[in-house]
């Protein structure tokens, strides 16, 4: 058993009860504890312990079969019987925490949008105002001193030339793309806009992704295992277990011990010496349907970087890159602003003057916050609000996706390798003699790791575990696995499922008193 695995009896009672309540709300009809285990993937001990509490709170109808199994159902619906201040307050607090969590997540996403788009709009707006102010100052300089008009105009516009060209390019692209669209193109564009995700969701998806598509994988894997065991008379062999889990042989031997504990199974040995695992408790069920979906096994899904289109992510990067450049500009200018402003105010007594180079943008912004916003000395304000804050946010905006991308690549590679092992083990089970590495083929990208030798490695590990020797042509004859499959079939033939039938109802809690 893994050192990090939780003990069966060390669990959150509330979460287990919530899982059971959710199953009963979705499911109509009766269910045994084994049916609930199959529906939730929870250990049998946890289900049996907490279904009693759920039955008490929601007023279950209990019917006991002749075999001693209890059938649980809620014909009156899932309405708690607990009343009073305490239970009502507990339910209200639970609902409040759930709603508060959603509101907090929404506020956080809105804050990211405000920071990204808000700063971009602010910086572009300041650039436009500074551009217009620079033109006005240059024109004023022309009328007062015609001899220095060219040099003054160049000084006022020199630092903002690149900004002006950038804005001109943006406006031209937008103008021409909108003006020369056909009616069909406009209609198609409107339709695509209607299908787009909300901006806050798209930006959040770029930074943090859309969650792990296999977040509930433990339950999925256990449900698949239970369904397989039930469809095969409670008997599971180790190669079959490895096929379901995609684990290496030694890892699978460790994991099966936990499953034996959680689902009340036991190791057995056939007359021919083949070890298999028998789970009789999983056969005591009301639902007799086969939920294995044929011979399919669960496959891990590949997590995308985000669900956005590449163009949308590129746009977010461009916005953030612009914010980073503007923020770095204001931060560096603020650090060097004191001598600059001291010189300007000393020479021109606070009058608006053209300033050469990149100092012009900062000087005009400084004047906007100082003269027109009423801030006595806006240097510190500009350094923090337009420098430190956007720079810190922009670095955060780029760093989180970069780190996440590396981790995601590692996670997906592990998933592909695990899926490929499932494919390899399934191939061996279907036809143990002979098996060639090149015969292991994946149907989709979810089982194609970058390591081209992963299939051969999986077969070599399985061969070492089962005692199969490689042949001269590179193939393997898994004779022991073939023999084990035959022995398991004989063991299954000897299981009488009728011995695990529920039988008729011996007691009904809703039966009228005689």
Residue 339 confidence (pLDDT) = 56
Length of the chain: 514
Each of the 514 residues of the chain gets a pLDDT tens digit; together they read 444 556 778 899 999 999 999 999 998 889 999 999 999 999 999 999 999 999 999 999 999 999 999 999 999 888 888 878 888 888 889 899 999 999 999 999 999 999 999 999 999 988 888 888 777 766 665 555 554 444 444 444 444 454 555 555 555 544 444 444 555 655 565 555 545 678 899 999 999 999 999 999 999 999 999 999 999 999 999 999 999 999 999 999 999 999 999 999 999 999 999 999 999 999 999 999 998 877 678 999 999 999 999 999 999 999 999 999 999 999 988 887 655 555 555 444 445 444 555 677 888 888 888 776 677 778 888 999 999 999 999 999 999 999 999 999 999 999 999 999 999 999 999 999 899 988 888 778 899 999 989 999 999 999 999 999 888 888 999 999 999 999 999 999 999 999 999 999 988 888 876 5
Distance CA 337, CA 330 (A): 10
Spell out the domain ranges in the chain: 109-211+308-397
Residue 174 confidence (pLDDT) = 46
Q: Please say whether the beta carbons of 440 and 459 come within 8 A.
A: yes
Longest dimension (CA), the chain: 117
Distance CA 125, CA 117 (A): 12
- Which ranges constitute the DSSP H helices of 431-475? 454-466
pTM: 0.81
Residue 300 Rama label (left phi>0; alpha psi -120 to 50; beta): beta
């Amino acid at each position: 058993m893994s050192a990090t695995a939780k003990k069966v009896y060390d669990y959150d009672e509330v979460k287990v009860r919530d899982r059971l309540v959710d199953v009963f709300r979705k499911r109509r009809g009766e269910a045994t504890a084994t049916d609930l285990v199959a529906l939730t993937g929870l250990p049998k001990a946890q289900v049996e312990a907490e279904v009693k509490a759920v039955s008490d709170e929601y007023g279950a109808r209990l019917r006991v079969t002749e075999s001693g199994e209890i059938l649980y159902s809620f014909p009156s619906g899932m309405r708690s019987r607990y009343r009073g201040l305490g239970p009502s307050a507990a339910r209200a607090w639970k609902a409040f925490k759930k709603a508060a969590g959603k509101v907090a997540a929404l506020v956080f996403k809105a804050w990211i949008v405000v920071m990204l788009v808000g700063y971009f709009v602010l910086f572009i707006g300041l650039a436009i105002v500074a551009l217009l102010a620079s033109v006005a100052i240059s024109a004023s300089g022309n009328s007062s001193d015609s001899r220095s008009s060219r040099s003054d105009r160049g000084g006022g516009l020199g630092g903002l030339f690149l900004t002006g060209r950038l804005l001109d390019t943006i406006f031209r692209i937008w103008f021409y793309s909108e003006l020369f669209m056909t009616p069909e193109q406009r209609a198609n564009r409107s339709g695509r806009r209607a299908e787009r995700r909300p901006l806050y969701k798209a930006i959040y998806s770029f930074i943090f992704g859309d969650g792990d598509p296999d977040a509930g994988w433990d339950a999925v894997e256990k449900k698949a295992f239970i369904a397989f065991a039930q469809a095969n008379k409670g008997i599971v062999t180790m190669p079959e277990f490895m096929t379901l889990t995609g684990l290496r042989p030694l890892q699978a031997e460790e994991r099966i011990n936990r499953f034996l504990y959680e689902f009340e199974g036991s190791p057995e040995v056939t007359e021919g010496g083949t070890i298999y695992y028998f789970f009789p408790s999983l056969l005591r069920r009301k639902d007799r349907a086969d939920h294995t979906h044929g011979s399919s096994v669960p496959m891990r899904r590949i997590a995308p970087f985000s669900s956005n289109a590449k163009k949308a992510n590129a746009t977010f990067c461009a916005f953030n890159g612009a914010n980073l450049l503007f923020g770095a500009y204001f931060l560096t200018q603020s650090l060097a602003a004191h001598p600059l402003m001291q010189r300007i105010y000393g020479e021109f007594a606070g009058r608006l003057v053209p300033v050469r180079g990149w100092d012009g943008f900062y000087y005009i912004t400084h004047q906007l916050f100082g003269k027109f916003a009423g801030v006595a000395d806006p240097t510190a304000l500009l350094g923090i609000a337009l420098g430190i804050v956007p720079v810190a946010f922009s670095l955060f905006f780029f760093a989180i996706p970069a780190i996440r991308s590396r981790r995601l690549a590692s996670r997906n590679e592990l998933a592909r390798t695990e899926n490929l092992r499932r494919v390899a083990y399934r191939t061996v089970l279907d036809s143990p003699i002979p098996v060639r590495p090149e015969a292991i083929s994946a149907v989709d990208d979810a089982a194609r790791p970058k390591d081209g030798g992963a299939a051969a490695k999986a077969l070599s590990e399985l061969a070492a575990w089962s005692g199969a020797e490689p042949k001269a042509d590179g193939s393997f004859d898994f004779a022991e696995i073939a023999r084990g499959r035959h022995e398991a079939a004989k063991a299954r033939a000897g299981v009488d499922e009728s011995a695990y039938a529920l039988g008729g109802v011996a007691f009904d809690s809703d039966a009228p008193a005689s």
